[in-house]
Amino acid sequence: MFSRRHFLGRGGAIAAAVSAAAVSKVALAALPEPVIQTRPDTMPPLLPPNGQAYNPVVTLNGWTLPWRMNQGVKEFHLVAEPVVREMAPGFKAHLWGYNGQSPGPTIEVVEGDRVRIFVTNKLPEHTSVHWHGQRLPNGMDGVSGLTQPGIQPGKTFVYEFVARRPGTFMYHPHADEMTQMAMGMMGLWITHPKLDKGAKHPLIDEVDRDFCFLLNAYDIEPGAATPKIMTMLDFNLWSWNSRIFPGDSPAGGAAWAIACASAWAT
């Protein structure tokens, strides 16, 4: 039987935002005031202040999460919360995300970095964060009820581990994930290779511009604003970083065409 778990396992790298659980009316009524995403989509890339050499990615219709160095540890702060995402001009969807954004801001690190992520929960239910594809201690894997207690509303949990391999990954909840992911809770994680100046990675080619996006699907009826999270196949919206035409970045179509062409060629 081809289950949704298999689908997520195969499609997680490009963002699975399908669902299989319902948000109750009580939970919806308990939502705190949503954060309206107002940060412009064309923010300049965050340059590394420590001089670490890497080419920052360009997150289409999004931005990179700021960080600080604290005694050799790169620290980030994620806030899980309801957001209002303008998916296209005049069309605003009520989603869940991180730091006022759905999907959440991109996290960029360098291979070998020790990272510490503070995750604060402003949702009406418990949550967690799973760092998809990371090699890390079991207790930092973010599976609620298995590797950690769920992060309760109003509480903060701290994850800490070493980014051990370069690549493109994602983060998402593993706590009522069928609801939370369907509501838009996911984000990109980029680990840049650690290279000496002028050196080339044997498996990762150099590029002039590195675009990244999450392809996710929603079912939002005309005139409505909240995704129908019980939908499994009949989605009516396919989005790039939760934006749809004509509200997506002009670069979005080009990047998607290149990605499709590359996948077809291989």
| Residue range 208-234, pLDDT digits in tens | 788 888 888 999 998 899 999 888 888
Domains of the chain: which residue ranges?
Answer: 4-265
CATH 1.10.3720.10 fits 4-265, yes or no: no
Digit-coded pLDDT (tens) for 59-115: 888 889 999 999 999 999 999 999 999 999 999 999 999 999 999 999 999 999 999
- Which is more confident, 155 or 248? 155
pLDDT value of position 265: 44
C-alpha 83: how far from its chain's center?
14
Q: How would residue 13 be classed by pLDDT, with cut points 50, 70 and 90?
A: very low
C-alpha separations of 248 from 7, 69, 87, 89 in Å:
26, 33, 8, 10
What are the CA-CA distances from residue 209 to residues 51, 83, 226, 256 (Å)?
Answer: 19, 29, 34, 14
Tally of CB atoms within 10 A around 93: 23
How far is residue 106's CA from residue 125's CA, in Å, rounded to a whole number? Answer: 24
